[in-house]
Homo-oligomer: A and B are copies of this chain.
Amino acid sequence: MFTDEYYMKMALQEAQVALEKDEVPVGCVIVSNNRVIAKAHNLTETLNDVTAHAEMQAITSAANFMGGKYLRNCTMYVTLEPCIMCCGALNWSQISKVVIGARDEQRGFINKNLSLHPKTEIVLDVLEAKCSQIVKDFFQNKR
Protein backbone atom coordinates (compact mmCIF):
# COMPACT_ATOMS: atom_id res chain seq x y z
CA MET A 1 0.00 0.00 0.00
CA PHE A 2 2.63 2.56 1.04
CA THR A 3 4.33 2.69 -2.32
CA ASP A 4 6.05 5.67 -3.94
CA GLU A 5 3.00 5.96 -6.23
CA TYR A 6 0.69 6.15 -3.23
CA TYR A 7 2.46 9.19 -1.77
CA MET A 8 3.03 10.80 -5.17
CA LYS A 9 -0.74 10.73 -5.67
CA MET A 10 -1.06 12.76 -2.47
CA ALA A 11 1.54 15.21 -3.80
CA LEU A 12 -0.51 15.44 -7.01
CA GLN A 13 -3.59 16.29 -4.96
CA GLU A 14 -1.59 19.16 -3.46
CA ALA A 15 -0.61 20.27 -6.97
CA GLN A 16 -4.31 20.25 -7.83
CA VAL A 17 -5.02 22.59 -4.90
CA ALA A 18 -2.32 24.95 -6.21
CA LEU A 19 -3.92 24.82 -9.67
CA GLU A 20 -7.29 25.83 -8.23
CA LYS A 21 -5.54 28.91 -6.78
CA ASP A 22 -4.03 29.71 -10.21
CA GLU A 23 -0.56 28.86 -8.91
CA VAL A 24 2.01 26.88 -10.92
CA PRO A 25 0.72 23.43 -9.90
CA VAL A 26 3.45 21.80 -7.85
CA GLY A 27 2.69 19.74 -4.77
CA CYS A 28 4.77 18.00 -2.16
CA VAL A 29 4.43 15.70 0.84
CA ILE A 30 7.04 14.57 3.36
CA VAL A 31 6.71 11.13 4.91
CA SER A 32 8.45 9.61 7.91
CA ASN A 33 7.84 6.00 8.95
CA ASN A 34 4.88 5.76 6.57
CA ARG A 35 3.28 8.79 8.19
CA VAL A 36 2.69 12.02 6.30
CA ILE A 37 4.30 14.76 8.41
CA ALA A 38 4.02 17.66 5.95
CA LYS A 39 1.94 18.63 2.90
CA ALA A 40 2.32 21.76 0.84
CA HIS A 41 1.66 23.33 -2.53
CA ASN A 42 3.18 26.25 -4.36
CA LEU A 43 1.91 29.58 -2.98
CA THR A 44 4.26 32.11 -4.59
CA GLU A 45 1.46 34.19 -6.13
CA THR A 46 -0.94 33.98 -3.20
CA LEU A 47 1.77 35.02 -0.75
CA ASN A 48 3.68 37.32 -3.13
CA ASP A 49 6.77 35.44 -2.08
CA VAL A 50 9.27 33.72 -4.37
CA THR A 51 10.40 31.54 -1.47
CA ALA A 52 6.95 29.95 -1.03
CA HIS A 53 7.62 26.89 -3.19
CA ALA A 54 5.89 23.70 -2.07
CA GLU A 55 9.21 22.11 -1.05
CA MET A 56 10.32 25.06 1.11
CA GLN A 57 7.08 25.12 3.05
CA ALA A 58 7.13 21.34 3.49
CA ILE A 59 10.74 21.38 4.76
CA THR A 60 9.90 24.04 7.37
CA SER A 61 6.75 22.23 8.37
CA ALA A 62 8.41 18.79 8.62
CA ALA A 63 11.29 20.19 10.70
CA ASN A 64 8.74 21.75 13.00
CA PHE A 65 7.02 18.37 13.38
CA MET A 66 10.34 16.55 13.93
CA GLY A 67 11.54 19.14 16.46
CA GLY A 68 14.87 19.40 14.67
CA LYS A 69 16.21 20.86 11.47
CA TYR A 70 17.55 17.61 9.96
CA LEU A 71 15.04 15.48 8.08
CA ARG A 72 16.57 12.08 8.77
CA ASN A 73 14.35 9.09 7.97
CA CYS A 74 12.20 11.38 5.88
CA THR A 75 11.18 11.11 2.24
CA MET A 76 9.95 14.01 0.12
CA TYR A 77 7.53 13.30 -2.72
CA VAL A 78 7.40 16.23 -5.11
CA THR A 79 5.54 16.42 -8.42
CA LEU A 80 8.18 18.56 -10.19
CA GLU A 81 11.98 18.46 -10.01
CA PRO A 82 13.16 21.00 -7.41
CA CYS A 83 14.76 24.29 -8.50
CA ILE A 84 18.15 25.57 -7.28
CA MET A 85 16.62 27.17 -4.20
CA CYS A 86 14.79 24.02 -3.14
CA CYS A 87 17.83 21.87 -3.99
CA GLY A 88 19.88 24.04 -1.63
CA ALA A 89 17.30 23.72 1.13
CA LEU A 90 17.10 19.94 0.67
CA ASN A 91 20.90 19.79 0.94
CA TRP A 92 20.90 21.65 4.24
CA SER A 93 18.12 19.36 5.56
CA GLN A 94 20.08 16.16 4.81
CA ILE A 95 16.76 14.50 3.92
CA SER A 96 17.03 10.72 3.38
CA LYS A 97 15.17 10.39 0.10
CA VAL A 98 13.60 12.58 -2.58
CA VAL A 99 11.07 11.11 -5.02
CA ILE A 100 10.45 13.27 -8.08
CA GLY A 101 7.50 13.08 -10.48
CA ALA A 102 8.38 15.08 -13.59
CA ARG A 103 11.74 16.52 -14.65
CA ASP A 104 12.15 20.29 -15.09
CA GLU A 105 14.86 20.57 -17.72
CA GLN A 106 14.96 24.38 -17.60
CA ARG A 107 14.65 25.25 -13.93
CA GLY A 108 15.51 21.98 -12.20
CA PHE A 109 18.75 21.41 -10.26
CA ILE A 110 19.91 18.37 -12.24
CA ASN A 111 20.79 20.24 -15.44
CA LYS A 112 22.63 22.86 -13.33
CA ASN A 113 25.08 20.12 -12.31
CA LEU A 114 23.97 20.38 -8.71
CA SER A 115 23.36 17.36 -6.53
CA LEU A 116 21.51 16.66 -3.32
CA HIS A 117 23.26 15.71 -0.07
CA PRO A 118 25.45 12.56 -0.27
CA LYS A 119 23.04 10.96 2.24
CA THR A 120 20.04 11.60 -0.02
CA GLU A 121 18.68 8.89 -2.31
CA ILE A 122 16.91 10.19 -5.44
CA VAL A 123 14.12 8.42 -7.32
CA LEU A 124 12.90 9.88 -10.63
CA ASP A 125 9.86 9.53 -12.87
CA VAL A 126 7.22 8.36 -10.39
CA LEU A 127 3.80 9.09 -12.00
CA GLU A 128 5.82 11.17 -14.47
CA ALA A 129 3.03 11.51 -17.07
CA LYS A 130 0.46 12.94 -14.66
CA CYS A 131 2.98 15.16 -12.89
CA SER A 132 4.22 16.73 -16.12
CA GLN A 133 0.74 16.98 -17.68
CA ILE A 134 -0.67 19.18 -14.93
CA VAL A 135 2.16 21.70 -15.39
CA LYS A 136 1.95 21.61 -19.20
CA ASP A 137 -1.80 22.19 -19.09
CA PHE A 138 -1.33 25.12 -16.72
CA PHE A 139 1.12 26.93 -19.01
CA GLN A 140 -0.91 26.07 -22.12
CA ASN A 141 -3.96 27.75 -20.59
CA LYS A 142 -1.86 30.81 -19.72
CA ARG A 143 -0.98 31.47 -23.38
Contact = CB atoms under 8 A, between A and B. Distances in A.
A99 B93 CA distance: 27
A132 interface: no
Interface in A65-99: 67-69, 83-89, 91-93
Contacts of A93: 50
A84 to B, nearest CB: 3
A23 to B, nearest CB: 12
Q: What's the dominant secondary structure at chain A's contact region?
A: helix
- Each complex incorporates copies of this chain amounting to 2
A94 to B, nearest CB: 9
Interface string A30-56: 000000000000001100111100001
Contacts of A44: 69, 92
Interface residues of A, number: 27
Interface of A: 44-45, 48-51, 56, 59-60, 63-64, 67-69, 83-89, 91-93, 112-114
